[in-house]
Amino acid sequence: MSKYKDWFLAARPWSFTMSAISVTVGAALAATHTHFSWFLWILSLVALVFLHGGVNLLNDFWDVKAGIDQIDTGTRQYRPHPLAEGRIKPATVLWISILLFTLGAAMGLYLAYLRGWEIIWIGITGIVAGVFYTAPPFSYKYKALGEFSVLLMWGPLSVEGAYFIQTQSFSWAAFWISLPFGVLVALVLFANNLRDVDTDARAGVTNLAIFFGKRNGPIIYAAMVLISFSGVVIMSIFGPLGLWSLLVLLALPLALKLLRTMIRGVPRDADARTAQLNTVFGALLVISLALESLL
């Protein structure tokens, strides 16, 4: 039983809220346009969670192989890391990752059969981006492109994909609405890298946290959080969001508290606190879209 628990923890299930919110934002936006299917929403959600789990496992596999995640790194001190701790074998992690990618791809093909071939291209883009996030020969996470990829994958790609599955059409509204949440998801990685800036630098990694440095990094972080909130406010006034979307401002006290902490000094659980913020922000955005579709 402990082995299954280790595999489950290695997939980082607590991060799946990001996928759940991305899919639900796209589906909820579709509902405001009178298109919504619970069946398609569940299929989309499960497919993305499978792919997300596959990416997480593959990411850990290559981070450990590259010597970035070790028993004494910041990541290990904050969360369980069965692979770095030697509780599961690298080959096992790799095979489970392949299994999750296969399951997610199979569900994506079924959705493409139901709703349109465009979904295949969305899926291929996501899988390629997820695999080469840390895998050679690109390993672009180590070349200061990780945050941009995360923003695009959990922002426009996932939200637009979920919207298309519901409506069989693409939407600029889905694209713009996805950006504030996508930025906050990318900030989870940025916060993680700010915490680990010294160990990452020793490992020869290049990322935005190293580029901006310990002094400027938290300032950039704060600016992006405020831009995310400002983006929703602007879209609620000028479109495509309605005034209900101002509900996300209920998350502002949590954001300001986090920003004060980050400016004083990046905490060990900076990524977890950022994930908590984007979960609350995203949930409020989903609720606002649901209210708009119902009222």
Which is higher by pLDDT, 221 or 81?
221
- Which segment of 69-78, 205-214, 217-226 scores lowest on mean pLDDT? 69-78
The reported pLDDT for the residue numbered 11 is: 83
120: pLDDT strictly greater than 80? yes
The reported pLDDT for the residue numbered 76 is: 56
Mean pLDDT of 1-30: 88
pLDDT band at 79 (very low <50, low <70, confident <90, very high): low
Residue 69 has φ and ψ, to the nearest 5°, of -95, 115
The reported pLDDT for the residue numbered 70 is: 64
78: pLDDT strictly greater than 90? no
pTM equals: 0.94
CATH class, range 2-294? mainly alpha
Domain residue ranges in the chain: 2-294
Mean pLDDT of 259-265: 96
The reported pLDDT for the residue numbered 178 is: 98
